[in-house]
Amino acid sequence: MQLRYLSRKDMEALQISMAEVMEAVEEGFRRKAMGQTQMTAKAFVNPRPGEAGLMSLSAYVGGVDAVGIKWLGTRTAERQPGQPLHTGLVILNDPETTLPICIMDAALVTAMRTAGANGVAMKYLGPARATTGAIVGCGVEGRSNLQSMLTCYPGLAEVRCYDVVAEAAVMFAREAQEQYGVTVTPTSEARTAVVDADVVVTATSTGATPFLKAEWLKEGALATPVDLWGAWEADLAAKVDKLVVDDYGKYDAFRSSERLKDIPKPYAELGEIILGERPGRERPEERALTMMGGLPVQDVVTAHLVYQRAVALDAGVCLPL
Ligand SMILES: NC(=O)c1ccc[n+]([C@@H]2O[C@H](COP(=O)([O-])OP(=O)(O)OC[C@H]3O[C@@H](n4cnc5c(N)ncnc54)[C@H](O)[C@@H]3O)[C@@H](O)[C@H]2O)c1
């Protein structure tokens, strides 16, 4: 038995498309809604309280028959230029023997699966046609979520982006233009980016004080905040027509905090909508909001997709166990 090690470069070289990630993540949501997944609660350790911590998340996904664990670090204190918010590893195991079969970069898996989950939300809850998108927070998640936005809405005429660090927004816009040929316009204030946008992704760093107002989300628009209540003021949850979550239990945990104790019960889990148990978007004028804290199921199905492609292409380095 061999253990395959995939560096970040190896993973990028596999050229897995966001459409493929969305398909895998959608299957993860479906299996969860069918009761075919097992997940542990996130477990945290904080070697530098208030500055840096790590958490572990593990899951088994039936049907896909994939099992693994993500060990994710988060540095919330000030970072050196280029130092990422999230770091870590994913380990996949053979479900039969339990032997580890693959280790890969968790930061990339996280960026792929979070954007993939938002892409699935856009498919079921987003407007049928979108001409303008907004990205607030132009970091790692802003970049991967731009991919899912463009995958769902290839006809987008314009994307606006805002970051508290103006140069970050300018660099984001330049990169997007070069990579995807899409017009991305940096804005000097958040409101300008969001007002009139059909789809709004917020991906600001943990700790941002909410600064987006509910009335700025236009009729018929979808907001998919990666940063949960980082950017949007919490009353948005009560003002949208449909509030969709990835997991009721996780959402209830948010509601136990003082600031969020008044947020309403959600309309559905995304998996229930995928299964057809609850309707997704029903009217063009509906405003929808997702609150998805991220599930280990999504990490495992995404890592499994990467692993399968790596085996097919014999990518990475095989190490003796
Ligand atoms: N829900 C999930 O499953 C999930 C998964 C991964 C990351 N996240 C969260 O997503 C967020 C972004 O993660 P990332 O890895 O992209 O971080 P990052 O540090 O790469 O990017 C964050 C960007 O937000 C900008 N920013 C910070 N405060 C801002 C503000 N007030 N207004 C506008 N921009 C602001 C920063 O300048 C930076 O460019 C974090 O809050 C992270 O915890 C959530």
Domains 2-110+296-320 and 116-291 share a fold: no
Closest ligand 1 atom to residue 137 Cα is 24
What confidence score (pLDDT) does residue 301 get? 98
Q: Whose CA is nearest to atom 32 of ligand 1?
A: 164
For atom 21 of ligand 1, the residue with the nearest CA is: 139
Phi, psi angles (nearest 5°) of residue 191 = -55, -45
Domain 2-110+296-320, CATH number (from 3.20.20.150, 3.40.50.2300, 3.30.420.40, 3.30.1780.10): 3.30.1780.10
pLDDT score for 82: 84
* Residue 74 alpha carbon, nearest atom of ligand 1: 43
Whether 168 lines ligand 1, by a CB cut-off of 6 Å, is yes
173 Cα: distance to centroid of ligand 1 (angstroms): 16
Amino acid 243: pLDDT: 98
- The answer, yes or no, to whether any atom of ligand 1 lies below 6 A from the CB of 230, is yes
β-pair partners for 45: 54
How is residue 215 annotated by DSSP?
A: G
pLDDT in tens, 209-219: 899 999 999 99
Residue 218 alpha carbon to ligand 1 centre in Å: 23
* Closest to 246 measured CA to CA, from 95, 118, 105, 156: 118
Stretches in the chain below the pLDDT threshold 50: none
CA of 150 to the centre of ligand 1 (A): 19
Atom of ligand 1 minimally distant from the CA of 298? 3
Cβ–ligand 1 distance for 171 under 6 Å, the answer no
What's the pLDDT score for residue 185? Answer: 98
Q: Is 302 in the pocket of ligand 1 (CB under 6 A)?
A: no
pLDDT in tens, 134-168: 999 999 999 999 999 999 999 999 999 999 999 99
Domain edges within the chain: 2-110+296-320, 116-291
Please give the torsion angle defined by the CA atoms of residues 130, 136, 138 and 139, in that order, rounded to the nearest 10 degrees: -110
CATH of domain 116-291: 3.40.50.720
Please state the atom number of ligand 1 nearest to the C-alpha of residue 162: 33
Ligand 1 probe mutation, 110, 226, 292, most atoms within 8 A of CB:
226
pTM across the whole model: 0.97
Structure-block tokens of residue 187: 């804005």
Tokens 């239990």, located at residue:
249
Going through 43-150 in order, the beta strands assigned E by DSSP cover 43-48, 52-61, 66-75, 86-93, 100-105, 132-136
